[in-house]
Structure 1
Amino acid sequence: MKVLIIGGGGLVGQKLGKALAARGTLRGVPIDTLVLADVVDPPLFEAPFKLETARCDIADPASVAAAVDADTDVIYLLAAIVSAHAEEDLDAGLRINMMGTLNVLQRCRELGSKPVLVFTSSIAVNGGEVPQPYTDFTALNPQTSYGAQKAIGELLVNDFSRRGLIDGRGFRLPTISVRPGKPNRAASAFMSSIFREPLQGQNANCPVDPDFNHYYLSPRKCVENLVKGAELRAEDLGLNRCMPMPGRVWTIAQMIEAMTAVAGPEPAKLITWEKQPELEPILKGWRMEIHADKAERLGLEADASFEDNIRYFLEDDLG
């Protein structure tokens, strides 16, 4: 079994790689080789099998061809530029999020090896005037360029799977919180920083009101679901290969209460409340009653509580 993680240097890619190293198998088969591919060499870690790194720019078909070979059994396509970045720079979003996805799919088509391909989409594919709740069969109606690019990726994954060119499955990730490390350029970055920084004694700003609600999942559960997602049987996925990943909807106030329940009252005192006008057009497009019924039937799971999200950060990522 050879597994390729495109985006293997990022938060989810690194955690996924370490999870695969800990379990040693995927789809009931021992992993022989795991390749972490990214635009820069990803960090390595201990693994019981061959672990490699590769430079891969998915916007460059030649770079994709060098990373994806006929021996690759499972591909995780995690690489993307995130919401606010894609909104600021349309060309970069089209080049990476749209054409990059197509480049990976076309490479699979050229090889004819029909790998399992796990595509990380986004809840940004939903929005606008589509009535809630969003379900597995709600029409895609993105309100940002990032969401539009991810929606195009979903349609391509479905079509390439229908044609038998890949065994694809796509999962619309909730906002992943609490994320370790530094803030990225996602419009949702503050949804981790208002917990991550205060839990480490630092100030952080919240640009929305306490009653703002959103759809969340911890990094730990996200990785568990991506492993399960790769192991699903094609016949269980049906004709629509893309679906929401399970998450939970909480308000900012509820999340801060959860942090306080776990870590005491001091971290919440480090949160400031200043609006960021540049984020408001994106945030206004987020309406968040999502029912991930299909993924739940297939065994994927949400966190039981946001207290768990806080505990996982303290256990896995603090510092």
Structure 2
Amino acid sequence: MNILIIGGGGVVGQKLAMKLAATGTLRGQPITRMTLADINSPATVDAAFPVDTAICDIADASSVAQAVTADIDVIYLLAAIVSAHAEEDFDAGMNINMFGTYHVLERCRALGTKPIVVFTSSIAIYGGEIPDPLGEHSYPNPQTSYGGQKAVGEILINDYSRKGFVDGRAFRLPTISVRPGKPNRAASSFMSSIFREPLNGAEAVCPVAPDFLHYYLSPRKCIENLIKGAQLDAADLGMNRVLQMPGRMWSIAQMIDAMTAVAGDDLAKLIRWDAQNDIKRIVSGWKFDIHADRAISLGLTADDSFEDNIRYYLEDDKPAL
């Protein structure tokens, strides 16, 4: 089993690579090689099989052609620029998020090898006046360029799978929290930083009100679901290759309560409330009553509580003192 992770330098890509390296198998077969590709050379991981790294700019079809080779069995297509960045720079969002996906799928079509392609979409494809509840069959109505670009990717995954060019599956990711590292340009970045920074002893800013509701999943569960997603049979996916990844909906206040229940009441004092209308405008366009019934029936799961999300960060990602 030869695996390519495009976006292998990011948080999800690195965690996925480490989990696959630890497991050593995928789809019941031993992993014989794994390649981590990204716009900048990604860090490698230790494994019992060869792990290569490569530079790949998915906005450049020739760069994609070098990374996507005929011997690859499974491609994880994780690379993207995030929501606020795509909103600020329309051309970059289109070239990377939309045409980048197209370039990868076109390369697979040209090779004729029909690899499994696992594409990460987003709950940003929801929005507007679509009636709740929402799920795999809800009409995409994104209110940002990022959401629109991800919705196009979903349509391409379905059509390239229907034509037999790839064996695709697309997962609409909840907001992944608590992410390690530093804040990025995602509009949802604060949904990790308001927990990560206090847990690390630093101040954080929350730009929305305590009653703001959102749909979450821990990094650990996200990785588990991405691996399960690659192992699903095409027959079980049917004609719709797009699934909502399971998550849980909580308010900011509930999540802060979960953090203090696990790690102490004083951490809430490190959160400064500072309303930011530009962030609120973007994240308020992401609808909240989201159901993932089909994914759950196929074995994907959500966290039991946000306390678990906090514990996972402390166990997996909190920097050593």
Q: TM-score range by the shorter chain?
A: over 0.9
Q: 1:80-119 counterparts in 2 under 5 A?
A: 80-119=80-119
**C-alpha distance in 1, partners of 2:181/2:146?**
22
Residue type at the aligned position of 1:265: D
Equivalent position of 1:207 in the other structure: 207
**C-alpha distance in 1, partners of 2:117/2:287?**
29
Equivalent position of 1:17 in the other structure: 17
Equivalent position of 2:66 in the other structure: 66
**C-alpha distance in 2, partners of 1:284/1:118?**
27
**C-alpha distance in 2, partners of 1:45/1:16?**
10
Q: 1:128-167 counterparts in 2 under 5 A?
A: 128-167=128-167
Deviations 1:291-319 (A, max 9, x none): 00110000000000000000000000001
Deviation of 1:157 (Å): 0.2
Residue type at the aligned position of 1:41: S
Equivalent position of 1:174 in the other structure: 174
**C-alpha distance in 2, partners of 1:144/1:111?**
33
Asked if residue 235 in structure 1 is aligned to residue 235 in structure 2, the reply is: yes
Stretches (4+) displaced over 2 A: none
**C-alpha distance in 2, partners of 1:34/1:23?**
13
**C-alpha distance in 1, partners of 2:84/2:116?**
30
Equivalent position of 2:33 in the other structure: 33
Equivalent position of 1:219 in the other structure: 219
Give the TM-score normalised by structure 1.
Answer: 0.99
Structure 2 gap segments, 5+ residues each: none
Deviation of 1:178 (Å): 0.2
Residue type at the aligned position of 2:116: V
Deviates more, 1:163-172 or 1:39-48: 39-48
Residue type at the aligned position of 2:169: R
Deviation of 1:39 (Å): 0.8
- SS of residue in 1 equivalent to 2:313: helix
Deviation of 1:281 (Å): 2.0
Asked if residue 304 in structure 1 is aligned to residue 304 in structure 2, the reply is: yes
Residue type at the aligned position of 2:298: L
**C-alpha distance in 2, partners of 1:305/1:299?**
18
Deviation of 1:276 (Å): 1.4
**C-alpha distance in 2, partners of 1:274/1:36?**
38
Equivalent position of 1:295 in the other structure: 295
Residue type at the aligned position of 2:307: E
Deviation of 1:135 (Å): 1.9
Deviation of 1:279 (Å): 1.3
Deviations 1:46-90 (A, max 9, x none): 101010001100000000000000000000000000000000010
Compute the RMSD of aligned alpha carbons.
Answer: 0.6
Give the TM-score normalised by structure 2.
Answer: 0.99
**C-alpha distance in 1, partners of 2:44/2:109?**
30
Deviations 1:249-277 (A, max 9, x none): 00000000000110011111100000112
- SS of residue in 2 equivalent to 1:266: helix
Deviates more, 1:134-143 or 1:306-315: 134-143
Structure 1 gap segments, 5+ residues each: none
Deviation of 1:284 (Å): 2.5
Deviation of 1:287 (Å): 2.0
**C-alpha distance in 2, partners of 1:200/1:79?**
28
Deviation of 1:146 (Å): 0.2
Asked if residue 188 in structure 1 is aligned to residue 183 in structure 2, the reply is: no
Residue type at the aligned position of 2:26: L
- SS of residue in 1 equivalent to 2:265: coil
Equivalent position of 1:48 in the other structure: 48
Percent identity of paired positions between Structure 1 and Structure 2: 68
Deviates more, 1:159-168 or 1:129-138: 129-138
Equivalent position of 1:274 in the other structure: 274
Equivalent position of 2:197 in the other structure: 197
